[in-house]
Amino acid sequence: MATKAELKSLLNAPIPLAPNTYIHFYNGGKLRADFMGEANPKDDFNSEEWIFSTNRAFTPGRPASENTPTKGYSIVQLPGGEKVLLTELLKAFPNETLGAKHFKKFGATLGVLVKIFDVGEGAHIPVHWHPSPQFAKKYLKNPFGKNESWILIGVRPGAKAWVGWKKKVTVDQFRKWMDAQDVEAMRAHMHEIKPKLGDVTYTTAGIVHSIGEGCCILEPQEPTDWNILAEYEGPYPYKREQAACGLDWDKGLEAADFSVMSTSFLKNRICRKPVKVRGAGKNKEEKFLPDSAKKYFWETKLTIADKMKMPGDRGFYVFVTFQGEGKLVGPWGETPIKRGKSFMIPRCLPGYEIVNTGRKPIEVYTGYPPAI
Protein backbone atom coordinates (compact mmCIF):
# COMPACT_ATOMS: atom_id res chain seq x y z
CA MET A 1 0.00 0.00 0.00
CA ALA A 2 1.36 3.39 -1.02
CA THR A 3 1.68 6.28 1.40
CA LYS A 4 -0.48 9.34 0.87
CA ALA A 5 2.63 11.40 0.11
CA GLU A 6 3.67 8.95 -2.62
CA LEU A 7 0.22 9.07 -4.17
CA LYS A 8 0.07 12.86 -3.96
CA SER A 9 3.30 13.10 -5.94
CA LEU A 10 1.44 11.70 -8.97
CA LEU A 11 -0.95 14.65 -9.13
CA ASN A 12 1.51 17.20 -10.47
CA ALA A 13 1.84 15.74 -13.99
CA PRO A 14 0.07 13.38 -16.43
CA ILE A 15 -0.22 9.98 -14.72
CA PRO A 16 1.27 7.08 -16.74
CA LEU A 17 -1.02 4.05 -16.96
CA ALA A 18 0.81 0.72 -16.82
CA PRO A 19 0.07 -2.17 -19.23
CA ASN A 20 -3.04 -4.05 -18.10
CA THR A 21 -3.43 -7.09 -20.34
CA TYR A 22 -5.34 -10.25 -19.66
CA ILE A 23 -6.23 -13.58 -21.23
CA HIS A 24 -9.77 -13.74 -22.61
CA PHE A 25 -11.92 -16.50 -24.06
CA TYR A 26 -11.25 -15.65 -27.72
CA ASN A 27 -7.95 -15.83 -29.61
CA GLY A 28 -6.21 -12.57 -30.44
CA GLY A 29 -3.68 -10.06 -29.21
CA LYS A 30 -1.17 -9.68 -32.04
CA LEU A 31 -2.30 -6.20 -33.09
CA ARG A 32 -2.91 -5.21 -29.48
CA ALA A 33 0.65 -6.25 -28.56
CA ASP A 34 2.05 -4.39 -31.56
CA PHE A 35 0.19 -1.23 -30.53
CA MET A 36 1.49 -1.54 -26.97
CA GLY A 37 5.07 -1.97 -28.20
CA GLU A 38 5.52 -5.53 -26.95
CA ALA A 39 8.28 -7.75 -28.39
CA ASN A 40 7.24 -10.58 -30.74
CA PRO A 41 3.52 -9.79 -30.97
CA LYS A 42 1.33 -12.83 -31.62
CA ASP A 43 -2.18 -14.18 -31.15
CA ASP A 44 -2.17 -15.94 -27.80
CA PHE A 45 -5.54 -15.13 -26.15
CA ASN A 46 -4.03 -12.02 -24.48
CA SER A 47 -6.65 -10.25 -26.50
CA GLU A 48 -7.78 -7.41 -24.19
CA GLU A 49 -6.04 -4.41 -22.67
CA TRP A 50 -8.05 -2.44 -20.10
CA ILE A 51 -6.35 0.94 -20.28
CA PHE A 52 -8.62 3.14 -18.18
CA SER A 53 -10.65 1.08 -15.77
CA THR A 54 -12.08 0.80 -12.29
CA ASN A 55 -14.05 -2.27 -13.37
CA ARG A 56 -13.39 -5.89 -12.62
CA ALA A 57 -12.62 -8.06 -15.64
CA PHE A 58 -13.66 -11.71 -15.65
CA THR A 59 -12.62 -14.47 -18.04
CA PRO A 60 -15.07 -17.42 -18.07
CA GLY A 61 -13.43 -20.82 -18.03
CA ARG A 62 -10.25 -19.63 -16.30
CA PRO A 63 -9.22 -20.68 -12.76
CA ALA A 64 -10.22 -18.56 -9.79
CA SER A 65 -6.58 -17.62 -9.24
CA GLU A 66 -6.70 -15.67 -12.53
CA ASN A 67 -10.05 -13.99 -11.88
CA THR A 68 -8.92 -11.91 -8.93
CA PRO A 69 -11.22 -9.28 -7.34
CA THR A 70 -9.22 -6.43 -8.89
CA LYS A 71 -8.50 -7.98 -12.30
CA GLY A 72 -9.02 -5.28 -14.93
CA TYR A 73 -8.39 -2.31 -12.63
CA SER A 74 -5.96 0.22 -14.05
CA ILE A 75 -2.47 0.28 -12.57
CA VAL A 76 -0.19 3.28 -11.98
CA GLN A 77 3.49 3.38 -11.11
CA LEU A 78 4.86 5.39 -8.21
CA PRO A 79 8.08 7.41 -8.57
CA GLY A 80 9.96 4.67 -6.71
CA GLY A 81 8.82 2.01 -9.18
CA GLU A 82 6.08 0.35 -7.10
CA LYS A 83 2.85 -0.34 -8.97
CA VAL A 84 -0.51 0.27 -7.29
CA LEU A 85 -4.14 0.26 -8.35
CA LEU A 86 -5.45 3.53 -9.75
CA THR A 87 -8.32 3.21 -7.26
CA GLU A 88 -5.86 3.86 -4.40
CA LEU A 89 -5.11 7.27 -5.87
CA LEU A 90 -8.78 8.03 -6.58
CA LYS A 91 -9.81 7.18 -3.02
CA ALA A 92 -6.98 9.17 -1.47
CA PHE A 93 -7.51 12.28 -3.63
CA PRO A 94 -11.01 12.14 -5.18
CA ASN A 95 -11.47 15.88 -5.66
CA GLU A 96 -8.04 16.34 -7.26
CA THR A 97 -8.33 13.33 -9.59
CA LEU A 98 -12.05 13.19 -10.40
CA GLY A 99 -13.62 16.42 -9.20
CA ALA A 100 -16.20 16.92 -6.46
CA LYS A 101 -19.28 16.56 -8.70
CA HIS A 102 -18.09 13.33 -10.29
CA PHE A 103 -17.08 11.87 -6.93
CA LYS A 104 -20.42 12.76 -5.37
CA LYS A 105 -22.32 11.00 -8.16
CA PHE A 106 -20.09 8.02 -8.96
CA GLY A 107 -17.79 7.63 -5.97
CA ALA A 108 -14.10 6.81 -6.45
CA THR A 109 -14.68 5.26 -9.88
CA LEU A 110 -14.01 6.55 -13.37
CA GLY A 111 -17.60 6.26 -14.63
CA VAL A 112 -16.15 5.17 -17.99
CA LEU A 113 -14.16 2.22 -19.31
CA VAL A 114 -11.62 2.50 -22.15
CA LYS A 115 -10.09 -0.73 -23.41
CA ILE A 116 -8.53 -2.41 -26.43
CA PHE A 117 -9.73 -5.73 -27.79
CA ASP A 118 -8.13 -7.57 -30.68
CA VAL A 119 -9.93 -10.38 -32.54
CA GLY A 120 -7.27 -12.74 -33.87
CA GLU A 121 -6.95 -15.38 -36.53
CA GLY A 122 -9.81 -17.87 -36.59
CA ALA A 123 -11.73 -16.04 -33.85
CA HIS A 124 -14.77 -13.80 -33.69
CA ILE A 125 -16.85 -12.02 -31.08
CA PRO A 126 -20.19 -13.89 -30.78
CA VAL A 127 -23.51 -12.45 -31.90
CA HIS A 128 -24.61 -10.38 -28.91
CA TRP A 129 -26.05 -7.12 -27.60
CA HIS A 130 -25.76 -4.96 -24.51
CA PRO A 131 -28.35 -3.74 -22.01
CA SER A 132 -29.32 -0.10 -21.71
CA PRO A 133 -28.90 1.78 -18.41
CA GLN A 134 -32.65 1.50 -17.87
CA PHE A 135 -32.57 -2.28 -18.35
CA ALA A 136 -29.49 -2.60 -16.13
CA LYS A 137 -31.13 -0.63 -13.32
CA LYS A 138 -34.28 -2.78 -13.52
CA TYR A 139 -32.75 -6.24 -13.81
CA LEU A 140 -29.03 -6.05 -13.03
CA LYS A 141 -29.05 -3.60 -10.10
CA ASN A 142 -26.50 -1.39 -11.80
CA PRO A 143 -26.85 2.24 -13.00
CA PHE A 144 -24.78 1.60 -16.14
CA GLY A 145 -25.63 -0.20 -19.36
CA LYS A 146 -23.16 -0.62 -22.18
CA ASN A 147 -23.33 1.99 -24.89
CA GLU A 148 -19.99 1.87 -26.71
CA SER A 149 -17.83 3.26 -29.50
CA TRP A 150 -15.34 1.39 -31.69
CA ILE A 151 -12.18 3.13 -32.90
CA LEU A 152 -10.28 0.92 -35.34
CA ILE A 153 -6.60 1.13 -34.34
CA GLY A 154 -5.58 -2.04 -36.20
CA VAL A 155 -7.08 -3.98 -39.11
CA ARG A 156 -6.09 -7.24 -40.81
CA PRO A 157 -7.06 -8.19 -44.36
CA GLY A 158 -10.66 -9.37 -44.62
CA ALA A 159 -11.82 -7.76 -41.38
CA LYS A 160 -15.61 -7.67 -41.00
CA ALA A 161 -18.31 -6.86 -38.51
CA TRP A 162 -22.09 -7.24 -38.48
CA VAL A 163 -24.33 -4.54 -37.01
CA GLY A 164 -28.14 -4.24 -36.76
CA TRP A 165 -30.96 -5.87 -38.74
CA LYS A 166 -31.14 -5.03 -42.44
CA LYS A 167 -34.47 -6.89 -42.76
CA LYS A 168 -37.33 -7.73 -40.44
CA VAL A 169 -36.59 -10.33 -37.78
CA THR A 170 -39.15 -11.41 -35.21
CA VAL A 171 -38.28 -12.50 -31.70
CA ASP A 172 -39.74 -15.96 -32.42
CA GLN A 173 -37.60 -16.36 -35.53
CA PHE A 174 -34.52 -15.28 -33.64
CA ARG A 175 -35.28 -17.77 -30.86
CA LYS A 176 -35.31 -20.56 -33.46
CA TRP A 177 -31.91 -19.47 -34.79
CA MET A 178 -30.61 -19.25 -31.27
CA ASP A 179 -31.93 -22.72 -30.33
CA ALA A 180 -30.26 -24.14 -33.45
CA GLN A 181 -27.17 -21.94 -32.98
CA ASP A 182 -27.60 -20.87 -36.60
CA VAL A 183 -25.11 -18.02 -36.61
CA GLU A 184 -25.05 -17.80 -40.39
CA ALA A 185 -28.79 -17.04 -40.46
CA MET A 186 -28.34 -14.35 -37.82
CA ARG A 187 -25.52 -12.68 -39.71
CA ALA A 188 -27.30 -12.97 -43.06
CA HIS A 189 -30.02 -10.71 -41.71
CA MET A 190 -27.54 -8.11 -40.39
CA HIS A 191 -25.64 -5.32 -42.09
CA GLU A 192 -22.08 -6.37 -42.91
CA ILE A 193 -19.40 -3.71 -42.67
CA LYS A 194 -15.74 -3.88 -43.65
CA PRO A 195 -13.95 -1.53 -41.27
CA LYS A 196 -10.82 0.41 -42.20
CA LEU A 197 -8.05 1.78 -40.02
CA GLY A 198 -9.29 4.90 -38.25
CA ASP A 199 -13.01 4.16 -38.67
CA VAL A 200 -15.24 5.07 -35.72
CA THR A 201 -18.66 3.65 -34.87
CA TYR A 202 -21.19 4.37 -32.15
CA THR A 203 -23.11 1.26 -31.15
CA THR A 204 -25.88 2.03 -28.72
CA ALA A 205 -27.31 -0.47 -26.26
CA GLY A 206 -29.65 -3.10 -27.69
CA ILE A 207 -28.19 -3.19 -31.22
CA VAL A 208 -27.34 -6.78 -32.12
CA HIS A 209 -23.80 -7.16 -33.49
CA SER A 210 -20.84 -9.47 -34.02
CA ILE A 211 -17.18 -8.75 -34.78
CA GLY A 212 -15.08 -10.95 -37.03
CA GLU A 213 -11.39 -11.66 -37.02
CA GLY A 214 -8.99 -8.89 -37.91
CA CYS A 215 -10.43 -5.99 -35.88
CA CYS A 216 -8.33 -4.33 -33.19
CA ILE A 217 -10.51 -1.78 -31.46
CA LEU A 218 -10.01 1.00 -28.92
CA GLU A 219 -13.35 1.08 -27.13
CA PRO A 220 -14.60 3.92 -24.94
CA GLN A 221 -17.81 2.71 -23.28
CA GLU A 222 -20.00 2.73 -20.23
CA PRO A 223 -18.20 1.05 -17.32
CA THR A 224 -19.64 -2.46 -17.42
CA ASP A 225 -18.92 -5.73 -19.16
CA TRP A 226 -22.58 -6.68 -19.71
CA ASN A 227 -22.90 -8.94 -22.76
CA ILE A 228 -26.00 -10.91 -23.76
CA LEU A 229 -24.68 -13.66 -26.01
CA ALA A 230 -26.98 -15.39 -28.49
CA GLU A 231 -24.05 -17.51 -29.66
CA TYR A 232 -22.86 -19.80 -26.88
CA GLU A 233 -21.87 -23.14 -28.38
CA GLY A 234 -18.53 -24.07 -29.91
CA PRO A 235 -15.27 -22.79 -28.40
CA TYR A 236 -16.93 -20.62 -25.77
CA PRO A 237 -16.50 -21.42 -22.04
CA TYR A 238 -20.06 -20.67 -20.96
CA LYS A 239 -23.49 -22.24 -21.27
CA ARG A 240 -26.86 -21.01 -22.51
CA GLU A 241 -28.12 -20.30 -19.00
CA GLN A 242 -25.08 -18.10 -18.32
CA ALA A 243 -25.17 -16.20 -21.59
CA ALA A 244 -27.84 -13.62 -20.71
CA CYS A 245 -26.04 -11.98 -17.76
CA GLY A 246 -27.53 -14.66 -15.53
CA LEU A 247 -31.11 -13.68 -16.48
CA ASP A 248 -33.73 -15.87 -18.13
CA TRP A 249 -33.90 -15.53 -21.89
CA ASP A 250 -37.27 -13.76 -21.93
CA LYS A 251 -35.59 -10.89 -20.12
CA GLY A 252 -32.40 -11.22 -22.17
CA LEU A 253 -34.31 -10.84 -25.42
CA GLU A 254 -36.20 -7.87 -23.98
CA ALA A 255 -32.90 -5.95 -24.03
CA ALA A 256 -32.37 -6.51 -27.79
CA ASP A 257 -33.46 -4.09 -30.50
CA PHE A 258 -35.42 -5.93 -33.21
CA SER A 259 -36.25 -2.91 -35.34
CA VAL A 260 -34.98 -2.72 -38.91
CA MET A 261 -31.92 -0.50 -39.30
CA SER A 262 -31.94 1.50 -42.51
CA THR A 263 -28.79 1.83 -44.58
CA SER A 264 -28.97 5.58 -44.01
CA PHE A 265 -29.00 5.08 -40.23
CA LEU A 266 -26.03 2.71 -40.48
CA LYS A 267 -23.99 5.15 -42.58
CA ASN A 268 -24.90 8.35 -40.76
CA ARG A 269 -25.58 7.31 -37.16
CA ILE A 270 -23.60 4.12 -36.51
CA CYS A 271 -20.60 4.85 -38.75
CA ARG A 272 -19.29 8.22 -37.63
CA LYS A 273 -17.64 11.04 -39.56
CA PRO A 274 -15.22 13.48 -37.89
CA VAL A 275 -16.35 17.03 -37.12
CA LYS A 276 -13.69 19.63 -36.38
CA VAL A 277 -14.29 21.40 -33.07
CA ARG A 278 -11.14 23.55 -32.87
CA GLY A 279 -7.68 24.07 -34.29
CA ALA A 280 -5.76 25.88 -36.98
CA GLY A 281 -3.88 24.60 -40.00
CA LYS A 282 -2.83 20.97 -39.56
CA ASN A 283 -3.44 21.03 -35.81
CA LYS A 284 -6.99 20.11 -34.93
CA GLU A 285 -9.35 18.42 -32.51
CA GLU A 286 -12.30 16.45 -33.87
CA LYS A 287 -15.36 14.87 -32.35
CA PHE A 288 -17.13 11.80 -33.70
CA LEU A 289 -20.11 11.11 -31.46
CA PRO A 290 -23.50 12.82 -31.31
CA ASP A 291 -23.88 15.16 -28.36
CA SER A 292 -26.45 12.75 -26.87
CA ALA A 293 -23.54 10.35 -26.13
CA LYS A 294 -22.12 12.73 -23.50
CA LYS A 295 -24.47 11.30 -20.88
CA TYR A 296 -22.61 7.96 -21.31
CA PHE A 297 -19.03 8.96 -22.25
CA TRP A 298 -17.19 11.20 -24.72
CA GLU A 299 -14.18 10.99 -27.03
CA THR A 300 -12.17 13.23 -29.33
CA LYS A 301 -9.24 12.86 -31.70
CA LEU A 302 -6.28 15.26 -31.70
CA THR A 303 -3.97 15.65 -34.69
CA ILE A 304 -0.82 17.70 -34.03
CA ALA A 305 1.59 18.61 -36.81
CA ASP A 306 3.72 20.89 -34.60
CA LYS A 307 2.06 22.00 -31.35
CA MET A 308 -1.35 22.45 -29.82
CA LYS A 309 -2.65 23.61 -26.43
CA MET A 310 -4.96 21.57 -24.21
CA PRO A 311 -7.12 23.61 -21.80
CA GLY A 312 -7.17 22.86 -18.10
CA ASP A 313 -10.95 23.00 -17.66
CA ARG A 314 -12.04 19.61 -19.00
CA GLY A 315 -12.06 17.64 -15.79
CA PHE A 316 -10.27 14.28 -15.97
CA TYR A 317 -9.76 12.06 -19.00
CA VAL A 318 -7.53 9.42 -20.55
CA PHE A 319 -4.95 10.36 -23.20
CA VAL A 320 -4.00 7.55 -25.64
CA THR A 321 -1.32 8.14 -28.29
CA PHE A 322 -2.16 6.30 -31.50
CA GLN A 323 0.61 7.60 -33.77
CA GLY A 324 3.78 9.68 -33.62
CA GLU A 325 5.93 10.91 -30.80
CA GLY A 326 6.32 14.11 -28.88
CA LYS A 327 5.95 15.56 -25.41
CA LEU A 328 3.44 17.14 -23.10
CA VAL A 329 4.77 20.43 -21.76
CA GLY A 330 3.36 22.07 -18.65
CA PRO A 331 4.27 23.54 -15.25
CA TRP A 332 5.70 20.16 -14.24
CA GLY A 333 8.19 20.11 -17.13
CA GLU A 334 8.01 17.64 -20.01
CA THR A 335 6.43 14.19 -20.39
CA PRO A 336 7.41 12.14 -23.46
CA ILE A 337 4.61 10.48 -25.45
CA LYS A 338 4.59 7.89 -28.22
CA ARG A 339 2.36 5.27 -29.81
CA GLY A 340 0.78 2.88 -27.34
CA LYS A 341 1.40 4.98 -24.22
CA SER A 342 -1.55 6.22 -22.16
CA PHE A 343 -1.98 8.73 -19.34
CA MET A 344 -4.66 9.83 -16.98
CA ILE A 345 -5.02 13.60 -16.99
CA PRO A 346 -6.35 14.38 -13.48
CA ARG A 347 -8.89 17.14 -12.94
CA CYS A 348 -6.40 19.26 -10.97
CA LEU A 349 -3.84 19.42 -13.80
CA PRO A 350 -3.62 22.85 -15.45
CA GLY A 351 -3.54 23.42 -19.17
CA TYR A 352 -0.56 22.12 -21.13
CA GLU A 353 0.85 21.94 -24.65
CA ILE A 354 1.30 18.93 -26.92
CA VAL A 355 4.51 19.29 -28.94
CA ASN A 356 5.36 17.09 -31.91
CA THR A 357 9.01 15.96 -31.97
CA GLY A 358 8.70 13.37 -34.77
CA ARG A 359 8.28 13.29 -38.52
CA LYS A 360 4.64 12.23 -38.61
CA PRO A 361 1.69 14.09 -37.12
CA ILE A 362 0.83 12.95 -33.62
CA GLU A 363 -2.61 11.35 -33.38
CA VAL A 364 -4.20 11.07 -29.95
CA TYR A 365 -7.56 9.80 -28.72
CA THR A 366 -9.04 11.14 -25.51
CA GLY A 367 -11.77 9.43 -23.47
CA TYR A 368 -14.02 11.26 -21.00
CA PRO A 369 -16.52 10.23 -18.31
CA PRO A 370 -20.24 11.02 -18.61
CA ALA A 371 -21.14 14.68 -18.35
CA ILE A 372 -22.79 15.76 -15.10
Render each residue's pLDDT in the chain as its tens digit; 372 residues: 789 999 999 999 999 999 999 899 999 999 999 999 999 999 999 999 999 999 999 888 888 888 899 999 999 988 888 999 999 999 999 999 999 999 999 999 999 999 999 999 999 999 999 999 999 999 999 999 999 999 999 999 999 999 999 999 999 999 999 999 999 999 999 999 999 999 999 999 999 999 999 999 999 999 999 999 999 887 788 888 889 999 999 999 999 999 999 999 999 999 999 999 999 889 999 999 999 999 999 999 999 999 999 999 999 999 999 999 999 999 999 999 999 999 999 999 999 999 999 999 999 999 999 999
Of the chain, the end-to-end C-alpha distance in Å amounts to 32
Predicted local distance difference test score (pLDDT) of residue 266: 98
Predicted local distance difference test score (pLDDT) of residue 239: 83
Closest CA to 191 of 280, 142, 262, 117: 262
Q: What is the pTM of this model?
A: 0.96
Predicted local distance difference test score (pLDDT) of residue 371: 97
Q: Which of 272, 288, 307 is the last residue of a domain?
A: 272
Check if the beta carbon of residue 45 is closer than 8 Å to that of residue 121.
no
Q: How many whole angstroms separate alpha carbon 53 and alpha carbon 36?
A: 17
Q: How many whole angstroms separate alpha carbon 336 and alpha carbon 353?
A: 12
Torsion of CA 31, 36, 38, 42, to 10 degrees: -20
Say if residue 217 is in the same domain as residue 282: no
Q: Which of 272, 303, 338 is the last residue of a domain?
A: 272
Say if residue 112 is in the same domain as residue 219: yes
Neighbours of 270 (CB within 10 A): 20
**Residue 296 belongs to what domain range?**
275-368
Say if residue 103 is in the same domain as residue 231: yes
Neighbours of 101 (CB within 10 A): 12
Q: How many whole angstroms separate alpha carbon 169 and alpha carbon 150?
A: 25
Say if residue 325 is in the same domain as residue 309: yes
Say if residue 295 is in the same domain as residue 250: no
Torsion of CA 97, 100, 102, 104, to 10 degrees: 130
Predicted local distance difference test score (pLDDT) of residue 129: 98
Predicted local distance difference test score (pLDDT) of residue 272: 98
Say if residue 233 is in the same domain as residue 348: no
Q: Which amino acid is at 77?
A: Q
User: Domain count of the chain?
Assistant: 2
Burial zone of 333 (CB within 10 Å; 0-12 exposed, 13-18 middle, 19+ buried): exposed
β-strands 113-118, 125-129 pairing = unpaired
Say if residue 41 is in the same domain as residue 127: yes
Angle at alpha carbon of residue 49, lines to 44 and 55, rounded to 5°: 130
Check if the beta carbon of residue 218 is closer than 8 Å to that of residue 126.
no
Say if residue 267 is in the same domain as residue 337: no
Say if residue 88 is in the same domain as residue 77: yes
Say if residue 287 is in the same domain as residue 253: no
Say if residue 261 is in the same domain as residue 291: no
